[in-house]
């Protein structure tokens, strides 16, 4: 899987590239408009991470170029501007998703994986982790081919962990993913713990291994034993 | 009172006073001259009579006419001089001269009098002219007034009505035209310059908001990204786990605070268009479903009773408004407490139990206001965002407290716009 990260801020660019590379993505980076344009012209990517404000031009113009050339690359816009107009303009121009800075890398990863799944021609609508299989269209989970009944939030939670497997995912990132960034009740009570506990119980009861571990009270990690 | 009416009133008063004073002076002067003239003629009568007596040693025969009347009577030394008087039974005044004469050794007093017809006529004439002139002044003023209000002041009223319809947040800029009148052109030009500057500043402010977002969000994004990377290192976590967790938490708060401040500024700058019909009852139900798990987790009993209600609003703002209120109702609640949401006739009330005593009514919607006893901290902006959204959409927000229950009321019925 090949990604292009277009972002002018070096630290942010490197952070995204590091995190996504460790998830078996092949990452290329571009720090300005012209470099990005060149790369888009020459190669094709499974997903492009696109910042809107770039030295040398506007990210939306890159998006237009991409669509004019009938390229099939998926695009996720990352912008510091949480403006509805930008979002609408971006999505109308054919972007697949829009993420406002500051975001969690785990969230970016989940969004990218969703875009790639949606766009993949092979129709790989399943996520597999050990004996767990997720059907991302039906939004169902099975363990050893036997279905497990999860609530929607538990399903989302499991998918989040599987996409970010072997990575520590912070509780804030989980809360942001499940309830949106504006939800701040989640900070004050450790009720995410309850969700994790329920999910873990259901999976173990269905015969799956216990792959979730708590990390120093700050988050959780899904690892194969 | 209109400026011109005020000016006009002063002007007419002054003109009339000057005119009256002028007329009086004119009358007095004329009268003085005419009386002098009459006195001269009486004096020459006196000389004629004296001459006659000197030549004939007798008084001239009395031949009284309307023009002149002579009276002689024997007497000694009556006071000589002029006098003005009215004879009984006659309208006209007379001017008379009295002098002493000795005729044939006998002392006589002679009185010669003439009517003052001319002077009376003059008096009437001046009075008539004065009244006519005052009438003319008033009539002219009235005509000028009408013409000025209809014509000359029109650019002024046009300017005023254009300014009234001026709205900073709409992009169309008013260009006030030049007029024939220097003052109005000056006014319009000054207003054009002022509006241009205001518009410019407003644009700059809006840009500043966007830029501030970019400038703060990017460093925050970097911190968060690097933290996410750091978190993946087992050795770092072993040594600095708690530190990283604390930093993570602080970044979370900071980015949420930044987000809230930007939202507040955007609402303040009216950067949302109120052009959607939003079903408030649906938004309430959606939010309740969203928060269901948290409510369940905290054993908070939620009761919702809503009737369909739709209002011209902005969907995102409606979600933020109701989300923030619900958020507060949960945050300051206690385990096993309750939340009661009602919507009827366009009035929403959200009541929640809480251990906190009554909040200060005048400060509850202020930025960064928190009750001293509150342990769980929000960012202190939730309710001021609620208030700001209500102000922007002309809704009213109110807070009441009864018996350990905090109640927030939002009236979605927009009051009629008073122009």
- β-bridge partners, A133: A128, A142
The whole-angstrom separation of Cα A193 and Cα A171 is 9
Span B175-211, pLDDT tens digits? 777 788 888 889 888 988 888 888 888 878 777 766 7
| A:B CB pairs within 8 Å | 127
| pLDDT for the residue B213 | 65
Under the banding of pLDDT at 50, 70 and 90, the label for residue A4 is very high
- Residue B242: list chain A partners with CB under 8 A: 216-217
- Whether residue B75 is predicted with pLDDT greater than 50 in this model: the reply is yes
Chain A residue with minimal CA distance to B297? A191
Average pLDDT rounded to a whole number, residues B288-292: 86
Average pLDDT rounded to a whole number, residues B25-32: 87
Q: Please answer yes or no on whether A181 and B262 come within 8 Å at the CB atom.
A: no
| pLDDT for the residue B397 | 92
pTM of the full structure: 0.65
Span A87-121, pLDDT tens digits? 888 888 889 999 988 899 999 999 999 998 888 75
| pLDDT for the residue B377 | 64
Span A175-222, pLDDT tens digits? 888 877 666 655 555 678 888 888 999 999 998 888 998 887 788 999
Under the banding of pLDDT at 50, 70 and 90, the label for residue B406 is very high
Average pLDDT rounded to a whole number, residues B229-255: 88
- Residue B222: list chain A partners with CB under 8 A: 9, 11-12, 15, 102
| pLDDT for the residue B21 | 92
Closest CA to A178 of B381, B293, B319, B315: B293
- Whether residue B374 is predicted with pLDDT greater than 80 in this model: the reply is no
Q: How far is B246 from chain A (nearest CA, A)?
A: 9
- Whether residue B339 is predicted with pLDDT greater than 90 in this model: the reply is yes
Q: How far is A121 from chain B (nearest CA, A)?
A: 31
Interface of A with B (CB under 8 A): 9, 11-12, 15-16, 18-19, 22, 53, 80-84, 100-106, 153, 167-168, 170, 172-173, 179, 181-189, 191, 194-195, 215-219
Residue A93, CA atoms < 13 Å, CB-side half-sphere: 25
Q: Please answer yes or no on whether A191 and B297 come within 8 Å at the CB atom.
A: yes
Give the single-character DSSP code of A208. Answer: -
Residue B28 φ/ψ region, left for φ over 0, alpha for ψ in the -120 to 50 degree band, beta for the rest: alpha
Span A125-162, pLDDT tens digits? 888 898 999 988 888 999 988 999 998 889 999 999 99
Q: Please answer yes or no on whether B218 and A101 come within 8 Å at the CB atom.
A: yes
B209 or B96, which is more confident: B96
- Whether residue B419 is predicted with pLDDT greater than 50 in this model: the reply is no
Share of chain A above pLDDT 70, in %: 93
The whole-angstrom separation of Cα B245 and Cα B231 is 9
Average pLDDT rounded to a whole number, residues B42-69: 85
For Cα atoms B193, B194, B195, give the angle at the middle one, nearest 5 degrees: 95
| pLDDT for the residue B328 | 87
| pLDDT for the residue B169 | 62
| pLDDT for the residue A149 | 92
Closest CA to B332 of A192, A184, A191: A184
The whole-angstrom separation of Cα A19 and Cα B222 is 13
Under the banding of pLDDT at 50, 70 and 90, the label for residue B172 is low
Of B225, B253, B323, the CB nearest to A105: B225
Q: Are B306 and B284 in contact (CB under 8 A)?
A: yes
Pick from A84-93, B24-33, B346-355 the range whose average pLDDT is largest.
Answer: B346-355
The whole-angstrom separation of Cα A14 and Cα B28 is 106
The whole-angstrom separation of Cα B206 and Cα B311 is 27
Q: What is the ipTM of this complex?
A: 0.86
């Amino acid at each position: 899987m090949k990604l292009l990260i277009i972002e002018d801020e070096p630290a942010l660019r490197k952070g995204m590239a590091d995190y996504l590379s460790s998830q078996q993505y092949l990452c290329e980076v571009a720090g300005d408009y012209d470099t990005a344009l060149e790369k888009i012209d020459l190669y094709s990517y499974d997903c492009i991470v696109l910042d809107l404000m770039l030295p040398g031009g506007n990210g939306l113009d890159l998006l237009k170029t991409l669509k004019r050339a009938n390229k099939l690359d998926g695009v996720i816009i990352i912008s510091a501007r949480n403006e509805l107009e930008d979002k609408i303009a971006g999505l109308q121009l054919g972007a697949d998703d829009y993420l406002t800075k500051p975001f969690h890398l785990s969230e970016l990863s989940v969004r990218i994986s969703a875009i790639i799944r949606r766009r993949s021609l092979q129709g790989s609508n399943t996520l597999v982790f050990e004996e767990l299989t997720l059907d991302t269209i039906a939004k169902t989970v099975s363990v050893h081919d036997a279905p497990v009944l999860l609530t929607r939030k538990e399903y989302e939670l499991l998918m989040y962990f599987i996409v970010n497997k072997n990575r520590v995912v912070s509780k804030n990132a989980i809360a942001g993913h499940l309830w949106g960034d504006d939800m701040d009740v989640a900070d004050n009570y450790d009720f995410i713990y309850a969700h994790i506990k329920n999910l873990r119980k259901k999976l173990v009861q269905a015969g799956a291994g216990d792959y979730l571990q708590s990390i120093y009270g700050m988050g959780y990690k899904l690892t194969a034993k | 009172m209109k400026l011109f009416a005020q000016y006009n009133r002063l002007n007419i008063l002054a003109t009339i006073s000057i005119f009256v004073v002028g007329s009086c002076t004119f009358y007095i002067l004329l009268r003085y001259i005419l009386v002098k003239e009459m006195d001269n003629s009486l004096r020459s009568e006196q000389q004629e009579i004296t001459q006659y007596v000197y030549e004939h040693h007798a008084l001239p025969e009395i031949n009284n006419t309307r023009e002149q009347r002579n009276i002689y009577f024997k007497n000694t030394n009556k006071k000589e001089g002029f006098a003005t008087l009215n004879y009984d039974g006659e309208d006209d005044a007379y001017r008379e001269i009295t002098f002493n004469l000795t005729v044939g050794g006998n002392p006589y007093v002679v009185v010669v009098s003439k009517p003052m017809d001319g002077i009376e006529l003059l008096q009437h004439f001046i009075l008539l002219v004065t009244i006519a002139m005052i009438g003319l002044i008033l009539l002219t003023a009235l005509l000028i007034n009408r013409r000025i209000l209809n014509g000359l002041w029109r650019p002024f009223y046009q300017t005023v009505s254009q300014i009234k319809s001026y709205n900073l947040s709409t992009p169309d800029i008013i260009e006030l035209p030049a007029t024939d009148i220097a003052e109005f052109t000056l006014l319009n030009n000054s207003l054009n310059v002022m509006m241009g500057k205001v518009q410019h500043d407003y644009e700059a402010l809006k840009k500043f908001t966007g830029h501030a977002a970019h400038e703060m969000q990017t460093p925050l994004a970097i911190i968060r990204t690097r933290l996410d990377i750091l978190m993946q290192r087992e050795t770092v976590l072993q040594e600095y786990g708690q530190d990283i967790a604390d930093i993570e938490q602080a970044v979370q708060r900071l980015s949420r605070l930044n987000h809230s401040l930007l939202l507040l500024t955007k609402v303040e700058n009216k950067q949302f268009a109120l052009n959607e019909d939003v079903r408030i009852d649906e938004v309430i139900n959606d939010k309740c479903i969203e928060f269901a798990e948290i409510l369940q987790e905290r054993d908070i009993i939620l009761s919702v009773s809503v009737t369909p209600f739709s209002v011209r609003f902005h969907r995102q703002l409606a979600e933020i408004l109701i989300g923030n209120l619900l958020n507060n109702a949960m945050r300051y609640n206690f385990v096993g407490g309750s939340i009661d949401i009602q919507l009827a006739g366009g009035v929403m009330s959200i009541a929640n139990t809480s251990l906190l005593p009554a909040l200060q009514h005048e400060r509850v919607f202020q930025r960064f206001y928190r009750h001293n006893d509150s342990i769980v901290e929000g960012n202190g902006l939730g309710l001021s965002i609620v208030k700001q959204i209500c102000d922007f959409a002309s809704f009213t927000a109110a807070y009441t407290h009864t018996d350990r229950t905090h109640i927030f009321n939002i009236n979605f019925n927009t009051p009629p716009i008073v122009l």
